[in-house]
Chains A and B, each alone.
Chain A
Amino acid sequence: MTQTADTPRGLNAATLTLIMIGIGFPLTFAQSVWLNTIVAGLGLLYLIALRVSWRKVSLILLIALPLAFGSWISFWFFGTVDRWHLAWMYGSRVYAYLLLGMIVTMTVSTQRWLVSLHLHFHLPNAFVFGLLGALNMADRVRHEFRRIQYSALMRGENLRLWNPLLYLRIVLVSLNWSNDLAEAMTSQGFTENAPRTELIADPMPAWQWGLAGGLIVIYCAAAFGLRPW
């Protein structure tokens, strides 16, 4: 979701985030294979309704399969009670989480997500534009990572992932680049905690708050009241 402000489709990014967190959190404490399946299924239906690339969705679901299998089989192996239920419950939970994430990550651009969190959840502008600025440097960060490794290889050393010298370079590059970008943004008038013109309209109709709230309440009632298998 690195593309920029798209034409918004589907639900508001803030609504989706609310659903994602609001159901994702209690899901940790729920014990139901059925509810996991329903959450994952509804998520999938939403993605299909928005015509998200079928190939991408399948690929992501496929990549997660070994992880779901790992959960499944570890309870089959190590579980103490009720192994069948636990194996299926924790296996299906992987997909419930994944699809809850995908309804946001596959349908909303980074910029719209951050702007939406700013407008509806008061995320400070420093976080919106700081994150955007850093994310727009991602390709250069990848290059720099390769360069750090090469600079060590040239000296007969391999900076492995547990070597503090690797992280020293990472910290210094981040310090230097963040300083440059922050100075430039300040020179372009960016002021922390000052009002700015909001150029992106991001309406969040009341019914969407209702929908998110309703879904969360229904989920919690089902998970902790009904407690299906």
Chain B
Amino acid sequence: MDHFAVTNLTFAYAEDAPPIFQELTFAPEPGTFNLLTGPSGSGKSTLLKLLAGLYPQYGGVIQSGQVTVNDTEISTLQPFQRAAHVAMLFQNPSRQFAMRTVLEQLQFALANLQLSPPEIDRRIQTVLTDLHLTQFTHRALETLSGGEQQRVALASVLALGSSLILLDEPFANVDAAGRTQLLADLKTLQRTQHKTIILADHDLSGYAGLVDQLYHVDGTQRTLLQESPAALPATTPATPVQGQPLTTGPLAWHDLSLTVGDRPLITAAQFTLPASQLGLLSGDNGAGKSTLFAALTRQRRYAGDIRYQDRPAKQYKLKQWALQVAEVYQNSPDQFIRIQASDELALSAQHSLHPTYWTAERIAQAAARLNLAAVLDHVSYALSGGQQKKLQVLSMLIMGQPVLLLDEPFAGLDQASLQAVLTLLQQTIHDLQLSALVVSHQRQGVVSFMDYELHLADQQLQLIAGEAA
């Protein structure tokens, strides 16, 4: 049984940067299931990467203290030596595979350990059988769902024989069924093989009764606080949207179907996005919400009909379409096309579709309400996650396309920012009569601003709150 320990660790991203952790001491009990929580950007990933030995190899500086496995400093081990003790599953399943198929991926990992070919075959057989993945052996990883990809990643961790399994927001692209299955697999591994599990998640639902220890990353004290797992919520009751009678609007789709490979995501959907109203698009991770946005912004193929003011989408040039249907991207840097925050706003102001509404004064006011005024002369990429989100939303509101799709625009926002963003969003949408549709896994504090809710499940897109016109 391996013993991992973080001792008096002070770690920063650069020599001259403020430390992320200060004098941190932490040792997971072998064979336990540990949940690591904290807002996004608080340092959960950083702690996991330190335990995995990826930091400082891939960045940052240990200013004092150490991270050890069985009293050996983990950063002094070679990656192939570390992998036998600790391995990690990453947030974005699609960016953790070097190879094309499940079999090749497992072979790649095991060949790194310099095992003999028969031993490699034996281990692959065992893990694929244990995790019920045998039917996927020769499948291309690209064609698997997010949940399946994470189970393949778990299989390679298991095959490597690591006793500590680290998972960094592993459910970000995984649906509820996939999540339940992955959690059950992890629990089994902990019980039967005494694996130590540390899982980082900002969302606490579904862990009650499952985890042994709960830790909270405290950004202000730059350390870890232990909390009682009894504090975990049993199941979060979903706050319902109080639906309003829907208006009509310019963007509509009929008989819309989307597939990934040969896996259907959405079948025969139909809806008209109401103007001057704010809608919530809900559904599991991986159900196809982002894919729907990609189709509506003509970034991917679709079957069926998408129309703007009764003209088929394909009759518009992409350039014209982009001035009708806009998206606030989930990954903030995808939005930025300037360097400095103020230049992002200036560019939007210059090309705004509502130049008389967005006067310099109104823009300055909005920036102030979002608490952005002080950071406008900063580089956008260097802003905190929450500031980047607010900058994105404001930039797109200033553009003022008739249709605005927002993919997780509230991630990393504190309570006050959330309120400010929603208020600004609602006001702008009313004033400019925009149709806005929001994907947000967070419902608390959000649903009271919503006029209707569309729910995506089992390939069906259904209006579950709000009265169709």
Contact = CB atoms under 8 A, between A and B. Distances in A.
A–B touching in complex (CB under 8 Å): yes
Interface of A: 4-5, 111, 129, 132-133, 136-137, 139-140, 143, 146-159, 165, 168-169, 172, 176-177, 179-191, 194-199
A156 B355 CA distance: 13
Given A132-B98, A139-B142, A191-B80, A151 B57 contact: no
Contact of A158 (B117, B156, B319): B319
Contacts of B323: 153-154, 156
B87 A187 contact: yes
A118 B334 CA distance: 36
Contact of B83 (A4, A179, A188): A188
A186 B81 CA distance: 11
Contacts of B160: 188-189
A146 B297 CA distance: 10
B44 to A, nearest CB: 15
A184 B97 contact: yes
Contacts of A188: 83, 87, 98, 108-109, 112, 156, 160
Contacts of A169: 337
B111 interface: yes
Looking at A165, A168, A195, A199, the one whose CB has the most chain B CB atoms below 10 A away is A199
B225 interface: no
B166 to A, nearest CB: 8
B393 to A, nearest CB: 13
Contacts of A186: 54, 57-58, 79
B113 A179 contact: no
B100 A136 contact: yes
A84 to B, nearest CB: 48
B318 A190 contact: no
Given A4-B100, A180-B96, A154 B112 contact: no
Contacts of A5: 104
Contacts of A196: 111-112, 114
A191 B81 CA distance: 9
23 contacts: A4-B99, A5-B104, A132-B98, A136-B99, A147-B334, A152-B337, A155-B399, A156-B323, A156-B351, A157-B337, A165-B338, A169-B337, A177-B95, A183-B49, A184-B90, A184-B95, A186-B57, A186-B58, A189-B84, A190-B108, A196-B114, A197-B110, A197-B111
A146 B98 CA distance: 23
Interface in B82-109: 82-84, 87-88, 90, 92, 94-101, 104, 107-109
Contacts of B117: 197, 199
Contact of A155 (B115, B334, B348): B348
B54 A197 contact: no
B300 interface: yes
B401 interface: yes
Given A132-B99, A158-B319, A199-B117, 18 more contacts: A4-B101, A4-B104, A132-B98, A133-B99, A136-B100, A150-B297, A151-B334, A154-B322, A155-B399, A156-B323, A172-B381, A177-B95, A181-B96, A187-B52, A187-B54, A195-B114, A197-B115, A197-B116
B399 A154 contact: yes
Nearest to B160: A189
Nearest to B326: A154
A176 B160 CA distance: 26
A183 B110 contact: no
B354 to A, nearest CB: 13
A151 B329 contact: yes
A159 B337 contact: yes
A206 B399 CA distance: 67
Contacts of A185: 98
B98 A189 contact: no
B299 A150 contact: yes
Nearest to A201: B117
A197 B120 CA distance: 9
A-B pairs with lowest CB-CB distance, top 4: A156-B351, A189-B83, A153-B322, A189-B112
A123 B111 CA distance: 17
A153 B90 contact: no
Given A150-B297, A187-B54, A194 B78 contact: yes
Contacts of A168: 339
Nearest to A149: B318
B57 to A, nearest CB: 7
A183 B54 contact: yes
Contacts of A140: 94
A132 to B, nearest CB: 6
Interface in B301-338: 318-319, 322-323, 326-327, 329, 333-335, 337-338
A62 to B, nearest CB: 27
Contacts of B110: 197
B396 interface: yes
Contacts of B49: 183
A148 B337 CA distance: 9
Looking at B108, B156, B318, B351, the one whose CB has the most chain A CB atoms below 10 A away is B108
A5 B108 CA distance: 13
A183 B96 CA distance: 8
B139 to A, nearest CB: 12
A189 B97 contact: no
B323 to A, nearest CB: 7
A36 B399 CA distance: 58
